[in-house]
């Protein structure tokens, strides 16, 4: 591979703001795997946000890139799985699997798509130093004839349109809006864009915690909600605490600590057969395979309020933000019924057929 921009490339990032800023280019914030795609003839490489390769996990995209992308190019975009009118991040996670046969089966069953939103190189020209406005024109021209599963991300400079998208697109599983300065060059690894995400709150049952990587202090709180059958489902974590507060939480939660899992609603997860999913406390991490995800069980008697952006299936899509304890709430009242449902939006209207 011999391109004017060579792997690895750390993608340009966005910092969170409360309001959509004026005077920029606006795009939907896609909920998938960020990817830098390099094509040089038959050679294709897909780099992740952390510079690890994603190439082996998406064979259907490698094939599509060889037919739908320019002969020599470097693109920034998002790998997504979309069907039934919305994005499905959980199905992306299933792709990170060591068995090539499993990956091939999933590629046929739930094929991925690539949504391009920036062009870093074309032919023998590096475009990174050019302003976004010029790169956008070049991107549209380069992918003018591209067919699914390759798509070009819709973009607008109309602030009112961006506000409309922010409200409408959430029902299709999109994260929010990204605002990009039109005169800016591509700045790898720097947070020079802006993102506005949906935020809501929920009252959750605290049922355990994981220790921090630095030692015996709280790393993340394990949260649960009761389903319609009265079962406490693990829905996510809350993890952003100052180090002093992490130590305080250990002492604060000590009276709830259980010496074993007997009687805990997640006791079955200790069984080896139940550890097939990395979404459960204690399961092996699908990303690292070695990361310690052991946890400390707590009697599910305390309720906390957390802020979240949106749900993916039955779980919070991202790490939640701890707000406060809710001693006025009973754990049994912490159910899925309290969660706000966004208005449905058919993703096909955004990506096309």
- Full set of structural domains in the chain with CATH: 13-198 (3.30.470.30), 200-338 (2.40.50.140)
Q: What percent of the chain has pLDDT over 90?
A: 67
Identify the three-state secondary structure at position 274.
helix
pLDDT score recorded for residue 200: 82
Task: Please give the C-alpha separations between residue 207 and each of 5, 101, 215, 225, 258, in angstroms, as whole numbers.
Answer: 48, 37, 20, 10, 10
**pLDDT exceeds 60 at position 115:** yes
Residue 225: pLDDT band (50, 70, 90) is: very high
Strand 33-40 versus strand 215-226 pairing type: unpaired
Average pLDDT over residues 289-295: 59
Total number of residues shown for the chain: 353
pLDDT of residue 133: 98
Quote the pLDDT of residue 293.
57
Question: Is the pLDDT at 166 greater than 70, yes or no?
Answer: yes
Q: How much is the pLDDT for 290?
A: 45
Residues designated catalytic: 29
pLDDT at 324 over 50: yes
Q: Is the peptide bond before 291 cis (omega within 30 degrees of 0)?
A: no
**pLDDT over threshold 90, residue 314:** no
Taking alpha carbons only, the member of 13, 8, 91, 90 closest to residue 52 is 8
Confidence of residue 327 (pLDDT cuts 50, 70, 90): confident
Tell me: pLDDT of 273 over 80: no
Residue the block writes with tokens 């390099």: 38
What is the dihedral sign for C-alpha 209, 213, 218, 221? Answer: negative
Query: C-alpha angle with apex 164: 159 to 165, nearest 5 degrees?
Result: 95
On whether the CB atoms of residues 281 and 233 are closer than 8 A, the answer is no
State the average pLDDT for the chain: 89
pLDDT the model gives residue 302: 96
CB atoms within 10 A of CB 95: 20
Q: Which two tokens stand for residue 180?
A: 């990009």
């Amino acid at each position: 591979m011999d391109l004017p921009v060579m792997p690895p490339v750390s993608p340009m990032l966005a910092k969170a703001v409360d309001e959509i800023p004026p005077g920029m280019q606006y795009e939907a914030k896609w909920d998938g795997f960020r990817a830098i795609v390099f094509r040089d003839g038959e050679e294709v490489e897909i780099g992740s946000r952390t510079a690890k390769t994603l190439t082996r996990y998406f064979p259907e995209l490698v094939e599509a890139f060889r037919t739908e992308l320019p002969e020599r190019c470097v693109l920034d975009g998002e790998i997504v799985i979309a069907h039934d009118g919305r994005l499905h991040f959980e199905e992306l996670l299933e792709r990170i699997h060591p068995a090539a046969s499993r990956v091939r089966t999933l590629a046929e069953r739930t094929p991925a798509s690539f949504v391009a939103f920036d062009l870093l190189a074309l032919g023998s020209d590096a475009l990174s130093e050019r302003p976004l406005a010029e790169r956008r024109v070049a991107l549209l021209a380069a992918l003018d004839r591209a067919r699914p599963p390759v798509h070009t991300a819709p973009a607008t400079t109309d602030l009112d349109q961006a506000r409309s998208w922010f409200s409408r697109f959430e029902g299709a599983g999109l994260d929010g809006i990204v605002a990009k300065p039109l005169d800016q060059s591509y700045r790898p690894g720097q947070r020079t864009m802006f993102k506005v995400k949906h935020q809501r709150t929920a009252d959750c049952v605290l049922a355990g915690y994981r220790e921090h990587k630095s030692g015996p202090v709280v790393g993340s709180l394990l949260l649960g909600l009761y389903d319609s059958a009265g079962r406490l489902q693990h829905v996510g974590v809350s993890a952003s605490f100052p180090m002093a507060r992490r130590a305080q939480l250990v002492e604060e939660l000590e009276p709830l600590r259980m010496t074993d899992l007997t009687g805990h609603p997640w006791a079955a997860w200790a069984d080896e057969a139940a550890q097939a999913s990395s979404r459960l406390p204690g399961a092996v991490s699908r990303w690292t395979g070695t990361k310690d995800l052991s946890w400390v069980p707590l009697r599910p008697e305390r309720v906390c309020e957390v802020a979240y952006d949106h749900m993916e299936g039955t779980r919070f899509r991202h790490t939640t933000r701890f707000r406060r304890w809710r001693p006025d709430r009973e754990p049994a009242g912490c159910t899925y019924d309290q969660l706000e449902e966004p208005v449905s939006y058919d993703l096909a209207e955004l990506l096309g057929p």
